[in-house]
Amino acid sequence: MTQLTDKRRVESFVKPFRVTDGRKFKLKHVDPDFTAGLKSKQAAGDMLEAGVRRLAELQDRLYAQDKWSLLVIFQAMDAAGKDGTIKHVMSGVNPVGCQVFSFKAPSAEELDHDFMWRALRCLPERGRIGIFNRSYYEEMLVVRVHPELLQAQKLPPALVTEDIWRERFDDVRNIERYLARNGVIILKFFLHVSRREQRTRFLDRLKQPEKNWKFSMADAKERNFWDDYQKAYEDVIQHTASAHAPWYVVPADRKWFTRLVVAGAIIDALEDLDLEYPVVDARRREELRLVQGELERSGDEPAGRGKKPKKGKAKKAKKGKAKQGTAGKAGPARRRPARPSSTRTRPAGAPPPAAPDTGGQGGPAA
């Protein structure tokens, strides 16, 4: 059994799904129903559980180290399982170090900017995992499949030529290389579901009342453009896969297998970073030892109940404390600064504080 907790085994488990050079990539070579010989959903569940725990450990170090960030992009046809994958794979991570953004049809404000604008302001900070549920790749997918969306983008007409997709691929490649050079680890997942399985899942959503909310009329409409989307996905992967921003083309007809591959790929990427907890230097250790001693001597009496110090001594003690506090802050290994409140975890689709509207109407033609 493949163990997501073993560095070498996880590496060989996820490698077949990774595309780092797209020139020869063909979507038809990936079977959406592939399960790498794994048969039991139960065994996969146990594997995932262990993987989720490993991911939590790695995330803790990522956050403590505060140097790298991880950007995880999900793209897929409707009902391929993006939401469920995010929910299960990330179920063990500390929400404080994780952000999720869902990108829908752009708002009027977003259309007043270049196409990367809304994505760039949602990038994960150092130490964090940022998840894009759809992304700037929609600009080369839905917008390519529906040319009227490009018309609505208010670009100067002289710039809308037949080269526009090649130009967008170029721009995205450049931006991803820039991000990689700045410490952003980029993983891109295409959850590859079959047309037949999508039909089954849509029917489930229609038949089961508790799943009705998941179905949108736009989903059924987009299904009619299946082949155009497959072609657009293949082209995107061929042109934007790279060693520093690989695509993972993940079989998505079995949800349990999809989740294993995604968890494995994230674990694999984090294992490669050799994440370590920050080491405290000698000076800081000495400071900590002093504080520890003070705490131990103070006992656990409630505030104000302790023995009153004599008048003269009280003043001296106060002065000493103030000095020590300043020295602590100015020292070389000072405490990591508090993160601004605007960086707390936001639920999928919630706008960032500076972007009051990351979502639009939902549905490409909206």
Q: How far is the CB of 187 from ligand ATP (least distance, A)?
A: 18
Task: Give residues 155-214 in contact with ligand ATP (rule: CB under 6 A).
Answer: 214
Candidate segments 21-29, 58-66, 156-164, 216-224, binder of ligand ATP by CB under 6 A: 216-224
Q: Which residues make up the interface to Mg ion (CB under 5 A)? A: 78, 219
Q: Is 73 in the site for ligand ATP (CB under 6 A)?
A: no
Contact predicate 51/266, CB 8 Å:
no
Q: How far is the CB of 32 from Mg ion (least distance, A)?
A: 18
DSSP 15: G
The span from the CA of 115 to the CA of 106, in Å, is 9
Task: Give residues 217-236 in contact with ligand ATP (rule: CB under 6 A).
Answer: 218-219
Measured at the CA of 95, the angle between CA 90 and CA 100, to 5 degrees, comes to 65
Place of tokens 């002093």: 290
Strands 247-251 and 18-19: antiparallel
Task: Give residues 318-347 in contact with ligand ATP (rule: CB under 6 A).
Answer: none
Q: Cβ closer to ligand ATP: 18 or 82? A: 82
The span from the CA of 146 to the CA of 143, in Å, is 5
Q: How far is the CB of 219 from Mg ion (least distance, A)?
A: 5
Give the one entry of Mg ion, ligand ATP, none that residue 62 binds, where binding means its C-beta sits below a cut-off of 5 to 8 angstroms depending on kind: none
Task: Give residues 345-364 in contact with ligand ATP (rule: CB under 6 A).
Answer: 362-364
Q: List alpha helices for 182-225, DSSP H.
A: 195-207, 217-223
Q: State CA 50 to chain mean position distance.
A: 20
Q: Cβ closer to ligand ATP: 211 or 244? A: 211
Q: How many residues sit in the footprint of ligand ATP (CB under 6 A)?
A: 22
Sequence-distant contacts of 161-169: CB under 8 A, at least 24 apart: 165/140, 165/235, 166/239, 168/115, 168/139, 168/140, 169/140, 169/236, 169/239, 169/240
Q: Is 138 in the site for ligand ATP (CB under 6 A)?
A: yes
Among 18, 82, 144, 192, binds ligand ATP (CB under 6 A): 82
The span from the CA of 30 to the CA of 193, in Å, is 10
Q: How far is the CB of 17 from ligand ATP (least distance, A)?
A: 20
Q: Which residues 6+ apart lie within 8 Å of 145 measured at CB?
A: 225, 228, 229, 232, 364
Based on C-alpha coordinates, what's the Rg of the chain?
25
Among 18, 88, 128, 134, binds ligand ATP (CB under 6 A): 134
In the chain, the amino acid numbered 274 is D
Q: Cβ closer to Mg ion: 210 or 296? A: 210
Q: How far is the CB of 96 from ligand ATP (least distance, A)?
A: 25
Site string for ligand ATP, 91-110 (x = CB under 6 A): ------------xxxx----
Place of tokens 């994230």: 266
Among 4, 70, 79, 261, binds ligand ATP (CB under 6 A): 79
Q: How far is the CB of 143 from ligand ATP (least distance, A)?
A: 5
Positions that interact with ligand ATP (CB under 6 A): 78-79, 82-83, 103-106, 133-134, 138-139, 142-143, 149, 214, 216, 218-219, 362-364
